[in-house]
Chains A and B, each alone.
Chain A
Amino acid sequence: MKKSLFFGLVLVLLVSFTFSNGILKFAIETEPVGLDPHQVTAFASHRILENVYDGLLRYDENMQLIANLAESYEVKDAYTVVFTLRNDVYFHDGTKMTADDVIFSFERITDPDFGSPAASYYADVESIKVVGEKNIEFKLKTPSVNALLPNFAGVNSAIVSKAFVESGKNMQLETNGTGPFAIADYEAGNYISLVKNDKYYMAGLPKLDELRFIIIPKEVSRVSALKNGDVDISKLNEPLSLNMLTNGFSIYRQPVLSYYLLGINNDVAPLNDPKVRRALSYAVNREMIIKMVGFGEGTITGIMNPTVKAWAVPVDEEFSYNPAKAKQLLAEAGYPNGFEFSITVSAKYNFDKIAQALQAQFASVGVKANLDMVEWGIFIKKWKEKDFDSFVSLNSGSVSPDKQLFRTFETNGSTNKFNYSNTKVDELLVEGRTTTEYEARHEIYNELQEILIQDSPILFLYSPNNLYASQKDVQGFQPMSNESLISLRFVSVE
């Protein structure tokens, strides 16, 4: 009796040991708010759902757009793109993905009553139809297929099951994707457990049996959890945490496309004068801010991120620290003794620290910046109502110049809260969107970036490095510059 109990125990231990080999425990700061891929906007939701839902396209580790649930795609002309669907894709409930599901997904996204954040991406789409059995054709009203394509890679454009959605499930609470993992268990505030999708279309993937996101809100707690082995991998928000993880851990550094900015209200005097804005830009010591706030973990960014070599125009001179030039420009603009303005800021993502550094640097050229510290919800309200002189924030960037610049600088761009309006910029943005040839597009975006440097409607500051730390036995983790975690499907624990 005792013997069998003992062997039973050993067996249980062995089984749990073999199973634990395939588990990755990932510490995350914030939990997802909602799980409907077509509704979520929270960063935390995207990071989880990109492992659960797939789209027609995805980015590979070099940020190249590649086919995903589509086997291939063909750009017929500037108005038309045709996707050929894979034949071996299954939803987590076991049903096969069909062209119907794809059409349904895009109808759901573009339904104006539904209010999906992705609806605007497809505003130029005239028709979506099935051609043959497994080809989906998108036809556009404008020749803007270049601008359209990157949208197919995000969670917001994921393919959902028509039958599942129509059965009346609450998609914010229940999931049924085609991705490498399916959500098995979600205990709010505690953890989200994803298990391997055995019918995932990529052979041999995912490598893990279970991917468990453990919600630990405080950085010191995440680092400690890593140190005593409660988790296998964690994102680090504070570069200082690296000091606590000096040996025995793998450290990952990834420059990201997101960038810190000083948003400026281009209607408020004296900030309505481009000379004044450029003076502020020269007064900023970006290197110093990266050292002070980011402990060296960051890169100065231009209008396009410098890692996007295909498009980025260098800004070494223009974004350099030059207080003499700043003073000269201020004098030319009629403010030799400086002026006073306010920076609206919330204590989130180091915004407050950056604002303090800016305040000190502006002071050295005689400009007095008053910090207006507000709670995040209030910040958003002020941002929305353009109720500010300036603000510090973090914008998500893109490898696509259209995605990076159109919404930010077009007169009616959805995130242009700067009252910035330049007819030439608007023209170039539309031209860039509707031109298909690379050389011609390149010229357009070069000119555009030059204008934006001269106008300085906002101050681009820097792109932080994303930092992760993992136990040594974690293999294959690759952070990406768009901060996506889709490489988790390739990760194993040796």
Chain B
Amino acid sequence: MTLSYILGRIISAIPTILLLTFMVFISIHLVPGNVIDIMMGTQNYLSEEQVQELTAELGLDQPIIVQYFKWLKGLFTFDLGTSLRTGEPVSQMIADKFPITFELALMSIIFSLLIGIPFGLISSVKQNTPWDYSFRVLGLVGLSAPVFWIGAIFIVLISGTFTNYTLFGFVPFLKEPLKNLQIMLIPAITLGIMIAAQIMRMTRNSMLDVLSQDYVKVAKAKGLKGSKVIFKHALRNGMIPVVTTAGIQLGYLIGGTIVVESMFAIPGMGRMLLDAVNQRNYPVVQGVVAFIGIMIVLLNILIDILYSIIDPRIKLTD
């Protein structure tokens, strides 16, 4: 049952991903200036014939639609092409960069859950008390502060106060786990603050909703301890919207860590995508976008499965 559901979901996601890659393909090709223009900059050292030759060599002289189908054909054989700048296989580039971005995204989500759920819970249980008000104000601040600002504040504060704290000079987790975690911590918090605020609000609203339901009142009426009511009866049901938010945010983070990766000099996929767009490195842009699309689809399926675990009343059917 579950398996056929997952399979169905995957098949139904294929048109979405195709549409996504097609739209990205068209739009990036419609932006003026191609990879050769940008490579030469204002140096202009190639003759018109040489430019044409190079264009043909890179396959850029063919109609866009032909180029797209060529790329698509490659996709089905797991060949994402090679970087127009260096000749490195795109699949290899993604394999190198994805784990870094994923680690960053995961750390931010964990941070935001650790902050967001308890704060939201307290806010809902102590509704309309000073606790509730302060957390709500904090949440509003977290939601409103842009990531680049929070990042800059952290960088300046830390380099001014903790002069021995290593903020820059990324090392992979498998090489030096402690140093890696130290370097990733601040970027993860920077990204996580806004999500923590969202999760806090979501938890609060959802818990208020659950806490006002009859079965909770019954539980209270039969004399159960307040903590038991909340943790045993209410929290689990209140978590469904929170899981949805966290899942959507994780997907968003996988594609949206560009700013933080640039600020903290983390060599992740977001920065690779940004550079590729600036250089009109079409195969890299395509490859990364398709990859992100597929990851988000898989994540959504994963969230659906999580629902059924959290709330056994939810069944996965086609």
**Footprint of B on A, CB under 8 Å?**
25, 27, 33-34, 41-42, 112-113, 115-120, 170, 172-173, 187-191, 214-218, 220-221, 223-225, 227-231, 375-378, 380-381, 383-384, 393, 395, 414-415, 417
B155 touches A34 (CB 8 A): no
Other contacts beyond A113-B53, A115-B53: 19, CB < 8 A:
A34-B85, A41-B41, A41-B43, A42-B39, A115-B50, A119-B45, A188-B97, A189-B266, A189-B272, A215-B267, A218-B263, A220-B156, A221-B263, A224-B159, A225-B159, A225-B168, A384-B37, A395-B42, A414-B43
Interface string of B151-177 (1 = CB under 8 A from A): 010011011101111111110000000
Interface of B is mostly: loop
B191 to chain A, nearest CB (A): 15
In the complex formed, the residue of A with least CB distance to B272 is A189
Q: From the candidates B158, B166, B265, name the one contacting A217 in the complex (CB within 8 A).
A: B265
B163: chain A residues at CB < 8 Å are: 227-229
Given A120-B45, A377-B37: A214 touches B32 (CB 8 Å cut-off):
no
Complex Cα distance, B167 from A184, in Å, reads: 24
Complex Cα distance, B47 from A115, in Å, reads: 9
B42 touches A383 (CB 8 A): yes
A170 touches B33 (CB 8 A): no
B169 touches A33 (CB 8 A): no
Q: From the candidates A25, A214, A229, name the one contacting B265 in the complex (CB within 8 A).
A: A214
B262 touches A218 (CB 8 A): yes
A375: chain B residues at CB < 8 Å are: 31
B6 to chain A, nearest CB (A): 34
A227 touches B39 (CB 8 A): no
Q: From the candidates B39, B40, B44, B265, name the one contacting A221 in the complex (CB within 8 A).
A: B265
Given A189-B97, A414-B45: A214 touches B168 (CB 8 Å cut-off):
yes
A380 touches B41 (CB 8 A): yes
In the complex formed, the residue of A with least CB distance to B264 is A221
In the complex, whether B38 has a CB less than 8 A from a CB of chain A is: yes
A220 touches B152 (CB 8 A): yes
B15: chain A residues at CB < 8 Å are: none
Given A221-B265, A224-B155, A230-B168: A34 touches B86 (CB 8 Å cut-off):
yes
B267 touches A188 (CB 8 A): yes
In the complex, whether B61 has a CB less than 8 A from a CB of chain A is: no
In the complex formed, the residue of A with least CB distance to B263 is A218
B33 touches A228 (CB 8 A): no
B156: chain A residues at CB < 8 Å are: 220, 224
In the complex, whether B54 has a CB less than 8 A from a CB of chain A is: yes
B contact residues, total (Cβ < 8 Å): 51
Q: List 9 A-B contacts (CB under 8 A).
A: A42-B39, A116-B45, A118-B45, A189-B271, A223-B159, A228-B159, A378-B32, A380-B41, A384-B44
Interface string of B250-275 (1 = CB under 8 A from A): 00000000000011111110011001
A380 touches B33 (CB 8 A): yes
A380: chain B residues at CB < 8 Å are: 33, 37-38, 40-42
Q: From the candidates A41, A217, A221, A377, name the one contacting B33 in the complex (CB within 8 A).
A: A377
In the complex formed, the residue of B with least CB distance to A117 is B45
Q: From the candidates B44, B50, B168, B262, name the one contacting A112 in the complex (CB within 8 A).
A: B50
A35 to chain B, nearest CB (A): 8
Complex Cα distance, B40 from A376, in Å, reads: 12
Given A190-B267, A227-B160, A376-B38: A217 touches B43 (CB 8 Å cut-off):
no
B37 touches A221 (CB 8 A): no
In the complex formed, the residue of A with least CB distance to B265 is A216
B279: chain A residues at CB < 8 Å are: 33
In the complex formed, the residue of B with least CB distance to A187 is B267
In the complex, whether B278 has a CB less than 8 A from a CB of chain A is: yes
Given A34-B86, A216-B265, A220-B152: A228 touches B158 (CB 8 Å cut-off):
yes
A52 to chain B, nearest CB (A): 16
B271 touches A217 (CB 8 A): yes
Complex Cα distance, B159 from A47, in Å, reads: 27
In the complex, whether B223 has a CB less than 8 A from a CB of chain A is: no
A381 touches B33 (CB 8 A): yes
A383: chain B residues at CB < 8 Å are: 42
Q: From the candidates B39, B88, B264, B266, name the one contacting A41 in the complex (CB within 8 A).
A: B39
In the complex, whether B122 has a CB less than 8 A from a CB of chain A is: no
A120: chain B residues at CB < 8 Å are: 45
The 8 closest A-B pairs by CB, nearest first: A189-B267, A377-B33, A224-B159, A190-B267, A216-B265, A117-B45, A225-B168, A381-B33
B142 to chain A, nearest CB (A): 22
Q: From the candidates A41, A118, A189, A218, name the one contacting B40 in the complex (CB within 8 A).
A: A41
In the complex, whether B87 has a CB less than 8 A from a CB of chain A is: yes
A187: chain B residues at CB < 8 Å are: 267
Complex Cα distance, B280 from A225, in Å, reads: 30
A33 touches B168 (CB 8 A): no
Complex Cα distance, B87 from A116, in Å, reads: 17
A228 touches B267 (CB 8 A): no
B168: chain A residues at CB < 8 Å are: 27, 214, 216, 221, 224-225, 230-231
A217 touches B262 (CB 8 A): yes
Given A173-B86, A217-B265, A415-B43: A190 touches B31 (CB 8 Å cut-off):
no
B162 touches A228 (CB 8 A): yes
B54 touches A115 (CB 8 A): yes
Q: From the candidates A218, A227, A230, name the one contacting B166 in the complex (CB within 8 A).
A: A230
B41: chain A residues at CB < 8 Å are: 41-42, 380
A228 touches B263 (CB 8 A): no
In the complex, whether B96 has a CB less than 8 A from a CB of chain A is: yes
A415 touches B44 (CB 8 A): yes
Interface centre among A229, A378, A380, A414 (most CB of B within 10 A): A380
A228 touches B32 (CB 8 A): no
Complex Cα distance, B260 from A218, in Å, reads: 10
B38: chain A residues at CB < 8 Å are: 376-377, 380
Given A189-B268, A217-B265: A225 touches B46 (CB 8 Å cut-off):
no
B31 touches A378 (CB 8 A): yes
B272: chain A residues at CB < 8 Å are: 188-189
A220 touches B155 (CB 8 A): yes
Complex Cα distance, B272 from A215, in Å, reads: 13
A412 to chain B, nearest CB (A): 11
Q: From the candidates B43, B85, B160, B162, name the one contacting A33 in the complex (CB within 8 A).
A: B85
A374 to chain B, nearest CB (A): 9
A188 touches B169 (CB 8 A): no
A64 to chain B, nearest CB (A): 25
